[in-house]
Amino acid sequence: MDLQAASSASTGPTREAQLQALATVFGSDYAKGFDDPVVFITRVFQSPAVKQFFKREFPLISRTLFVESVYRRRPLYNQTVLDDFASISKKKLSDILTLLGTQCDRIRKVCESNAALTDAQYMHPQTTLIPIIAGEARTYIEVLTKLDEAYQLCGSAILNGVIDGNQRKSTELLCRKAVRAFSAMQRNEIIKLRKE
């Protein structure tokens, strides 16, 4: 074993765990044929909604974002279309993070002003090894992490009696719709990329 392999084996997940994570997220056929660089990060997802977003949306979003880098390797591909795609993806993710951060801050302040703790817990957290195959896929994971925080704060606020069910529902719906909108945008944009 070389020095780099020995170092990574002692500090991070094993190669087998990485290959399994790649296959779990993208399917075994995709994982077997994937020859580009991959970064692995570990995150803990708490809420059922965020676990579902990761399971259903993350693979599609990652592959869509990865396609942009594949198309950039083709010299005849329209670079303006690719630049537009990258710019739209980056801006949309930034906007969603801002919205989620604002909602989290708002609920946190409501709890603080009512002397309520933000102590609600989910009983079945899921620790996940996540393969990152495209730069903005990491930002999407930040979005899911912030969405998880929003759910936890809303749960704390309602269980400690500082918001009602309608306030919880409207906050969670606003946050969830923003994250879903990114998935919808990616589906539309990939059609444009493939038509080019």
* Count of CA atoms in the C-beta half-sphere (13 A) of 178: 25
Task: Supply 101's token pair.
Answer: 């951060």
Which amino acid, 81? V
Could you tell me which of 67, 88, 61 has the C-alpha nearest to residue 180? 61
Residue 170 has pLDDT above 50, yes or no: yes
Collapsing DSSP to helix, strand or coil, 118 comes out as: coil
pTM value? Answer: 0.91
Between the alpha carbon of residue 4 and those of residues 11, 40, 85, the distances in Å are 11, 16, 36
State percent of the chain over pLDDT 90.
80
pLDDT per residue as tens digits for the range 82-135 = 899 999 999 999 999 999 999 999 999 999 999 999 999 999 999 999 999 999
Strand 39-45 to strand 126-132: parallel, antiparallel, or no bridges (unpaired)?
Answer: antiparallel
